[in-house]
A and B are shown apart, each in its own frame.
Chain A
Amino acid sequence: MATKTVEFTVGRTPEMGLDSRPAPGPLAPVDLPEPEMGSENMLINIGPQHPATHGVLRLVCELDGETVLRVIPHIGYLHSGFEKQGEYRTWNQVVPLTDRMDYLAPLIYNCAYVMSVEELMGIDVTERCKVVRVIIMELDRIFGHLLWIGTTAMDMGAVTPFLYTFQEREKIYSLHESLTGARITTSATRVGGMMADLPEGWPEACRKFVTELHRTLDQVEYLLTTNAIHLGRTQGIGVISAEDAVNYGFTGPNLRASGVPYDVRKDKPYYDYETYDFEVPIGEHGDCYDRYLVRMEEMRQSIRIVEQALDRLPGGPINVPDPAISLPSKTDCMNDMESMIHHFKLITEGIHAPAGDSWFSVEASKGELGMYVVSDGGSKPVRWRVRPPSFVNLSVIPKLAEGHLVSDLIMINASLDIVLGEIDR
């Protein structure tokens, strides 16, 4: 009869440490007889409707007992044909499609799209616009990571961090709302600027939020970073080496957790990111725990960036003063014939981008978000392509989950921080 070694990680009497935290008990390996059972494998569907898949993701798993032998992800349940729809819309009309992709950090997508179009058209946005976009992008990075921390902790059975982080997310929702009028579907950017300038009191509210966020992050870290269950569920789970991570196209916190210091903000700086003082946290083991640590630290770095950006927020116009790109003010439209004509042309025809193509990538909360736009000189894109970071990150899951338990598969899936709206587009 075969035997297998079972290791109990929690002792019979878990001793309480000095700071009233439970200390892991001694390991007591026990040799148990393993009964002979049939060896047929099992095919199990996880999803598409399952809370732990974080969306309509379906994972078909081949299991041997509880060990995952093979994972075959099925995606496309949320396929909306955004890229196809974009070809039928003017350049500015595409913006609302972008925030429906990653509804967990919509402003980053808004910004990334218009930045690629501006790159194609050779538009330099105003200084104020640059700083405002940096603020809202960093704010949404925090927004995305907070959701990730909350839901991932919930997958482990820890409900409290979820409540803490969603309390903070609610404040970002309010900031979204006062800036754009919407909480999730922000559609805040326009080619050459923003839909509207920051409302009165917004910078102060934003600063208040980021200052107070530290406290919540401390609370969450206190609950999770040295939590024995969290450590047991994440350390050594879903490990990927640096070389493999690059080969598989990992980006963002997932890649940096493997020790590759690739951050678009540092390596291909846009919007003067090189002048902001911030660090790029990297992990060394490439497991779920390092991905958690990297994201926690990234939020703190984002707070630093937001604070610096708020300090340097310049005055002046937020839209480029080019009548062929930016809408004139309503007052001008009503008083000035020329502005009226520009307004009419912009609304009926839209802006025209020169023929050519442009690729622009930003560091989104999930990884490198690339926007590729192709124009034939008309007012609509010939092709609008999104390089979805979650799509590429998810493609690694068969490799990561192989040989782990089903419960680890849930952890690995959570640690990748996917959003299905963007994977399926």
Chain B
Amino acid sequence: MADETRSGLDAVEAGPAGSEDGLAPDAASGLPVPEHPTVSALRARFGDAVLRHEVGARDQHVVFIEPSRNVEVLGWLKEDPAQDYAFLSDVTAVDYGGGRPLQVVYQLFSLTHHRTLRVKCELPVTALEVDSLAPLWKTADWLEREVYDLFGIRFRGHPDLRRILMPENYAEGHPLRKDFPLRGRFSRAEQTRRALAQEVENFYIPLEMDLGREPQLPAARESGSDPADQA
């Protein structure tokens, strides 16, 4: 692909410089980690599925869990009356770049106990797939679509996993990944060319194309073909 706009953009295209001194682990300066009732309950119930527990930014608790058991753990957090995290505030992802695993971040809130909890799953860059939470929370539907769109993480069992913010036929990848340059992978010329070459079909999903098809009325067909035969 011809790239005319390279000059001066190299620094931009190199992406944000990774962390200068590496990702310092949040050691919390040796202070005793305050307890979170849910975390101890999680450890007691799921044991090895709970990988790590971190506390940062005053008292925000983060639990790293086994990605393969996310539905099981989060489903329990939602259903168990002692936890009752009925509200899934957010689903998002974080890419630290440099080949480090991507984190899927679930932000939970319990309306009855007034507790928040952040649950993270770390996915290696080579296997960006995790089970969908859409069966548990309807909120997860669009939020997971957004994560898929912008990070390329696939959600198994999602009812309708397609891009949401970017166009369906967007070919440049997943924009919020660290290896994605700020101005996109294609040159401006190529981006313009693709934008101008859009077909009407690109603006509809297959379901809509099916719904919008001309009704197959036999009467209309016959009357339409008659003049053609005579001519």
Contacts and interface: CB of A to CB of B under 8 A. Distances in A.
21 contacts: A60-B204, A60-B208, A62-B211, A72-B208, A83-B176, A119-B57, A247-B86, A248-B139, A355-B24, A355-B25, A359-B107, A361-B89, A370-B107, A376-B96, A377-B20, A377-B24, A383-B94, A385-B94, A392-B139, A395-B141, A424-B165
Interface string A66-90: 0000101011100101011101100
A41 interface: yes
B71 interface: no
Contact of B143 (A41, A70, A247, A392): A392
Contact of A120 (B57, B94, B105, B137): B57
A66 B109 CA distance: 40
Given A43-B212, A359-B118, A376-B18, 15 more contacts: A60-B204, A76-B163, A119-B57, A246-B111, A247-B138, A355-B26, A357-B118, A358-B56, A359-B57, A359-B116, A370-B89, A372-B107, A376-B23, A383-B176, A385-B92
Interface of A: 38, 40-41, 43, 60, 62, 70, 72, 74-76, 79, 81, 83-85, 87-88, 119-120, 122, 244, 246-249, 260, 262, 267-268, 355-359, 361, 368, 370, 372, 374, 376-378, 380, 382-383, 385, 387, 391-392, 395-396, 399, 424-425
A79 B204 contact: no
Contacts of B203: 74
A249 B143 CA distance: 10
B130 to A, nearest CB: 17
B142 A395 contact: yes
Interface of B: 12, 16, 18-21, 23-26, 56-58, 60, 62, 86-90, 92, 94-97, 105, 107, 109, 111, 114, 116, 118, 137-139, 141-143, 146, 150, 163-167, 175-176, 180, 182, 203-205, 207-208, 211-212, 215, 217
Closest 10 CB pairs of A and B: A249-B139, A358-B57, A376-B19, A43-B212, A356-B56, A395-B142, A76-B165, A40-B215, A387-B90, A248-B138
Nearest to A385: B92
A83 B89 CA distance: 18
B106 to A, nearest CB: 11
A383 B95 contact: yes
B13 to A, nearest CB: 11
Interface of A is mostly: mixed
Nearest to B136: A247
A191 to B, nearest CB: 14
Given A43-B211, A75-B164, A247 B139 contact: yes
A249 B139 CA distance: 5
A76 B204 contact: no
B89 to A, nearest CB: 6
B88 A249 contact: yes
A72 B105 CA distance: 27
A83 B178 CA distance: 12
Given A376-B23, A387-B89, A392-B143, A75 B165 contact: yes
Nearest to B142: A395
Contact of B176 (A70, A84, A359, A387): A84
Nearest to A381: B16
Nearest to A399: B138
A253 to B, nearest CB: 16
A122 B176 contact: no
A395 B139 contact: yes
Given A84-B182, A357-B56, A391-B142, A260 B111 contact: yes
